[in-house]
Amino acid sequence: MFSVEKSKEIKSMFHDKGFKCTPQRLAVLKVLQDTSAYLSINTIHLKVKEFLPDTGLATVYRSLETLVDLNLVVKVHLEDGCHSYVIAPEGHRHPIVCTDCNKVIEFAEFPLDDLSKQISEDTGVQIKTHFLQLFGKCKECQA
Amino acid sequence: MFSVEKSKEIKSMFHDKGFKCTPQRLAVLKVLQDTSAYLSINTIHLKVKEFLPDTGLATVYRSLETLVDLNLVVKVHLEDGCHSYVIAPEGHRHPIVCTDCNKVIEFAEFPLDDLSKQISEDTGVQIKTHFLQLFGKCKECQA
DNA sequence: AGGTGATGGATAATTGTTTTCAGTAGAAAA
DNA sequence: TTTTCTACTGAAAACAATTATCCATCACCT
């Protein structure tokens, strides 16, 4: 059910942070790995229940929190206040969300580190992190 | 109670978009103008009630929606899912939020337009808008 | 001043998320 | 393996943020 080649390193990622490697958490991860698009909590819940029918909604919330903590998954903030989740891209990248079909089209590499440093120097504020999302229209929705 | 010099142009801003210029909406705007820091809905509600005691919470929500629509106020997304609001800065700027005292320290001018265009060309995605927030530690909280 | 439709207040309803609690099952030690 | 310990799960209740409903009222156009 879960890809064998990855399970070992995934398992040690859990252990390194003192988390347990449970089927529910792996299922949530698997669901996100299988669709590079971002998914709402409810969608994830439905998909997880396809092979773990007893999984509760609260567990999905908790699993996602854990996976975000492990940098395996990224939380996406939407305008209406709801959230969705995507599998984390390589490195620090920023999601481009299609305003029509509501999917994460891809991740942009946006070199903000230098700018952050500049701001830190200019303002005296220690910039630690940033949150950036781009919104646009994907190729398919342009047609 | 409300600054007279501004009230005329504010009034016409409402009318231009077909909104009515009501004391409640002006009160919400006034509260945000008086504290450049960002405020939660509840805080705004409390402050508004200081001089308009009968104002309901729902009205605060509705007024803020209107003011955001008029670009007079900016909605800030926080990590925990809640929102706060600040008076809109001149031009398109990005809030720097202090992770300690939870205030909008200031707005950074971050030239993202050129980068957005670049991304548009590279990916074929029509980038329309972006959402950027910076998180850091303000001078006071560094002490 | 009067008419009209947008707005406001109060409250209920909804929705997204978190907590609680008792039972279960990872993971490490015996 | 078996035991032991604790983190984890499922179900339901609790919570908090936001939205909808209803009717009265007020802003504003004529």
Sequential DSSP letters for B76-134: EE-TTS-EEEEEPPSSS-EEEEETTT--EEEEE----HHHHHHHHHHH--EEEEEEEEE
How far apart are alpha carbons B135 and B65 in whole angstroms?
Answer: 24
Q: What pLDDT is recorded for position B79?
A: 66
How far apart are alpha carbons B50 and B38 in whole angstroms?
Answer: 18
Q: What pLDDT is recorded for position A59?
A: 98
Least confident of A30-39, B95-104, B124-133: B95-104
Bases in strand D with any atom closer than 7 Å to a protein CB: 7-13, 16-21, 26-29
Look up residue A24 and give its two tokens. 């529910």
- If chain A, 143 residues long, is cut into consecutive pieces of 10 residues, what is the mean pLDDT of each piece? 60 93 96 84 95 96 96 80 76 79 75 84 87 85 87
List the CATH code of the domain at A1-88: 1.10.10.10
B22 touches strand C (CB under 7 A): yes
Q: Strand B104-108 to strand B94-98: parallel, antiparallel, or no bridges (unpaired)? A: antiparallel
Q: What is the largest CA-CA distance in chain A?
A: 54
Q: What pLDDT is recorded for position B5?
A: 43
A14 touches strand C (CB under 7 A): yes
Task: Choose from B110, B118, B122, B125 for mutation: most chain A CBs within 10 A.
Answer: B125
Query: Looking at residues B71-84, what average pLDDT do you find?
Result: 79
Q: What pLDDT is recorded for position A93?
A: 82
Interchain proximity B96–A119, CB inside 8 Å: yes
Percentage of chain B with pLDDT > 90?
Answer: 39
CATH 3.30.1490.190 positions along chain B are 90-143
Look up residue B57 and give its two tokens. 């919470």
Query: Is the Cβ of B115 closer than 8 Å to some Cβ of chain A?
Result: yes
Least confident of A10-14, B99-103, B107-111, B117-121: B99-103
List the CATH code of the domain at B90-143: 3.30.1490.190
CATH 1.10.10.10 positions along chain B are 1-88
Who wins on pLDDT, B2 or B37?
Answer: B37
Residue count (chain B): 143
Query: Looking at residues B116-133, what average pLDDT do you find?
Result: 87
Res. B105: pLDDT tops 90: no
Q: What pLDDT is recorded for position A4?
A: 43
Q: What pLDDT is recorded for position A102?
A: 66
Q: What pLDDT is recorded for position B13?
A: 95
Q: What pLDDT is recorded for position B102?
A: 65
Res. B27: pLDDT tops 50: yes
DSSP A135: E
Q: What pLDDT is recorded for position B74?
A: 87
Look up residue A29 and give its two tokens. 């991860």
Q: What pLDDT is recorded for position B113?
A: 83
Interchain proximity B127–A119, CB inside 8 Å: no
Q: What are the pLDDT digits (tens) for B28-74?
A: 999 999 886 778 999 999 999 998 999 999 999 999 999 999 999 98
Q: What pLDDT is recorded for position A107?
A: 80
- Cβ of A141: how many Cβ atoms within 10 Å? 16
How far apart are alpha carbons A36 and A82 in whole angstroms?
Answer: 19
